[in-house]
Amino acid sequence: MLEIRNVYKTFNPGTVNEKTALDGLSLRLEEGDFVTVIGGNGAGKSTMLNAVAGTWPVDSGNILIDGIDVTRLPEHKRAKYLGRVFQDPMMGTAPNMQIAENLALAARRGDARTLKVGITRAELAEYREKLKELELGLEDRITAKVGLLSGGQRQALTLLMATLKKPRLLLLDEHTAALDPKTAAKVLELSDKIVAENKLTTLMVTHNMRDAIAHGNRLIMLSAGRVVLDIAGEEKKKLTVQDLLQRFSTASGEEFSNDRALLS
Amino acid sequence: MANLASFFNALPGAVSQGLIWGIMAIGVYITYKLLDVADLTVDGSFCTGGAACVMLITAGYNVWLALLAAVLVGMIAGIVTGLLHTACGIPAILAGILTQLGLWSVNLAIMGMKANQSLNVANHELLVSLRYLQDVSKGERPFWQHPIFVAALFTLALVVILYWFFGTELGSSIRATGANPHMARAQGINTNFNIVLGLMISNGLVALSGALLAQYQSFADINMGRGAIVIGLAAVIIGEVVFSHIFHNFGLKLIAVSIGSIIYYVVIQAVVSLSEINTNYLKLISALIVAIFLTIPYWKGKYFAKPVKRGGSSHA
């Protein structure tokens, strides 16, 4: 369904800040896979997601979605295949537009923007229903500006926006990292529910090893821009954080270094 | 007291000018507030509109046709700035300055390499004119040819069209582009295209305003757009300061901009009529007014923010 073939990406080439973020990364996702992604600081987790989303062009390699080569497609054209939730709650929504307007923009992802009315009455009713499922009371504030919402509410809304029009692939980029533990747990639970209901193929980056083990059917670990561990099925279910740390140092020959991952 | 009388005599003219410049200010509002771009093209495209209009009317073309042509050349100026910014990667402010500078020559070329071109009011039937203002007060023309009436009608029609447009899928996607380009692209919106489109619409309005002003004062001048961006910003800010608590609807916000422009011109007229000031100081005064209004919200947040009382912190 998603195929990343031998992708390289180096930031700031030729400068002292040169950083090879993706070093021949290859990954294949099957339809319905819910893959959690962990890795140390600078392992290339977010870079991988941005490469798939087309935030910038990759240096070499190919990215295929449903067998279509999207490597050269600009970000806004790839968007029709992708639902995205970012780490920063500010990134996923337009703050000075209404909740309903944000949803209406998301509902048209991948469609040409025409001179038809931007939001219909029928849509408003539909959005109210969908917002009710978030259980945050947003259905009563549908004309409120998104800038007034809390970080957790905004992430929940972004999640709804990302899946309002069913994406071929859902990209969750540490989408609970900026939230307090209680809110983070709620947003994660919501993510699970939405992914399961829509049978979405999902890539979820997380810094929390327990979350990475508890969610999804497959877990990959990145190190220095490559996949060093790929654990699925029964094996993943039996996994513990200790196992994971052990297997990481065997696979990569170094200690796992991600301050946030070890602290949480 | 003579000064007060001269102020009241000049009031209809000031309101007319305010309304006409208000259309330009609405163009500035679209870039500055919706697209979050300070577009300096307007100083040039305002004159482009005026020059194109005057030259076409003088050449005997229909006034509406001249107006349409003015809008089109303004739109082209906006497209140029937009492409310099998006396709060539030049920062928006610099892209605007480049177009503005280039337009200096273009505007002169349109006016046959002359710094100004006048319009003979007696020979052409215009839409707005200072002369008509006098004619109406003398009873020689019907009231609906009064510049205030015509300019207000133009403003209303434009507000209705813009209100509709920015509520469509395309218009909403332009607003999203200005509000959060990351989000816009993630939702499949072509932000580069939208920036060009927004600049095009904005400069079309600016040129329309320039065309109307050229008719009103019956000449186009190479300097007529100088400082237009500052007047536009002044109108946007005054409108916001005065009406932000009552006007929340997008259409009303546009009307607030137009009223902001009227207030600006009435105040300027008051300064001119009631004091002995040399009118050459007006640009300095305008710059100061805008600088002060832009400073107030910043300082308010920085130096005069009320300390937030944290409820329940003692129980923590």
Say which residues have a Cβ less than 8 Å from residue B71's Cβ, sequence separation at least 6.
Answer: B49, B204, B205, B207, B208, B211
Q: How far apart are CA B281 and CA B301, in angstroms?
A: 31
Report the predicted TM-score, pTM, of the whole model to 2 decimal places.
0.92
Residues of B in contact with A104 (CB under 8 A): 172
Other beta carbons within 10 Å of A258: 18
Contact B117, B223 (CB under 8 A): no
Share of chain B above pLDDT 90, in %: 78
pLDDT at B304 over 70: yes
Contact A76 B189 (CB under 8 A): yes
pLDDT value for B285: 85
Q: Where does the pLDDT of residue B294 fall: very low under 50, low under 70, confident under 90, or very high at 90 and above?
A: confident
pLDDT value for A263: 52
Whether chain B has a CB inside 8 Å of the CB on A144: the answer is no
For residue A53, give how far its alpha carbon lies from the nearest alpha carbon of chain B (Å).
Answer: 8
Give the tens place of pLDDT for each residue, B227-261: 999 999 999 999 998 898 899 899 999 999 999 99
Whether chain A has a CB inside 8 Å of the CB on B184: the answer is yes
Q: Report the residue from A91, A115, A161 with minimal CB separation from B170.
A: A115
Whether chain B has a CB inside 8 Å of the CB on A222: the answer is no
Give the tens place of pLDDT for each residue, A12-33: 999 999 999 999 999 999 999 9
DSSP B30: I
Other beta carbons within 10 Å of A5: 16
Length reported for chain B: 316
DSSP B32: I
For residue A234, give how far its alpha carbon lies from the nearest alpha carbon of chain B (Å).
Answer: 35
For residue A33, give how far its alpha carbon lies from the nearest alpha carbon of chain B (Å).
Answer: 22
pLDDT value for B1: 53
Q: Where does the pLDDT of residue A40 fall: very low under 50, low under 70, confident under 90, or very high at 90 and above?
A: confident
Amino acid at A23: D
3-class DSSP string for B122-173: CCCCCCCCHHHHHHHHHCCCCHHHCHHHHHHHHHHHHHHHHHHHCCEHHHHH
3-class DSSP string for A55-77: CCCCCEEEEEECCEECCCCCHHH
Determine which of A88, A105, A173 to mutate to test the interface with B (most B C-beta atoms within 10 Å): A105
Q: What is the predicted ipTM?
A: 0.92
Of A185, A107, A257, A6, the closest CA to residue B189 belongs to A107
Give the tens place of pLDDT for each residue, A133-176: 998 999 999 999 999 999 999 999 999 999 999 999 999 999 99
